[in-house]
Amino acid sequence: MRKFQGVFIKNEREIACLAEANRLVANILDAIGDMIAPGLETRLIDEFTQNYCERHRVKPAFKGYYGYPYSVCCSVNEQVVHGFPSTRKLAEGDIVSVDVGVVYQGFVGDAARTWPVGRVSQEASRLMRVTEDSLYVGIDRARPGCNVFEIGAAVQEFVEAAGFNVVRRFVGHGVGARMHEKPEVPNFKPALRGVTLQPGMVIAIEPMVTAGTYEVDILDDKWTAVTRDGRLAAHFEHSVAITHGAPRILSVSDRGLERHTINA
């Protein structure tokens, strides 16, 4: 595969595979969104995703990745990312972030959304709306000739203007035959300049936004990232192809692109 500044340039066939992988991911997320309700055990989200992958003959991308034990990540409230699905029941007022990845013909789809469980606080719904909006602010910078770090700068500026913070510990990434490829796609403005985006690059942009501090801790399970101050976090992710023109969001479901944040 051709590279530019160390980043793989995908051809049309490879982009088509990535688009299909991401369409399946987005369809899974639509179905999960329909399941979210008070009383749902988050392990059922994992079970659904495994069944869906079997039915569609694709592989969950996360299971076994550096030993990650599940097919999805379910992160509730102060959990930022990489939470384990469990027998925990979602409760009215919670927010839940779900991250899904599948492998279709050797190519990885990767996307995430956060949902309210029943009625949630004003702070929670504003946090989700700002996080999802910040993703689109970042996507708008995913154009040829732009520096990849302009994405994070734009996300950070938008989020901080809303009074929230962006997590530094985890970043977005190039995505292709591997889930994590170059370049890193931070949600903040790094000191250096990054690569110049080119048509054929595919990146996962995934702002993780906190109501309070951006500092996170990792729980004893070695995976679950939680906010250090215990306040809420939200996470939205799309996989996006750089084209000659406007950014092409690949993680679009058969229902089409919707804003998924409700009652905001």
Binding site for ligand MF3 (CB under 6 A): 62, 65, 68, 73, 82, 99, 101, 110, 112, 173, 204, 206, 237
Binding-site partner at residue 73 among Co ion, ligand MF3, none, CB < 5 to 8 Å by type: ligand MF3
Residue number, 132 or 206, with CB nearest to ligand MF3: 206
Give Rg (Cα) of the chain: 17
Shortest Å, Cβ 199 to ligand MF3? 23
Site stretch for Co ion (CB under 5 A), options 26-34, 40-48, 198-206, 218-226: 198-206
The single residue among 95, 154, 204, 241 that binds Co ion, judged by CB under 5 A, is 204
Decide if residue 110 touches Co ion (CB under 5 A).
Answer: yes
b/e per residue 166-204 (b: at least 16 CB within 10 A)? bbbebbbbbbbbbbbbbbbbbbbeeeeebbebbbbbbbb
Residue with tokens 């659904």: 48
Integer Cα distance of 187 and 149 in angstroms: 8
Is the backbone peptide bond immediately before 183 cis, with ω within 30 degrees of 0?
yes
Shortest Å, Cβ 206 to ligand MF3? 6
Shortest Å, Cβ 244 to ligand MF3? 26
Shortest Å, Cβ 78 to ligand MF3? 18
Q: Whose CA is closest to 237, among 145, 148, 149, 109?
A: 109
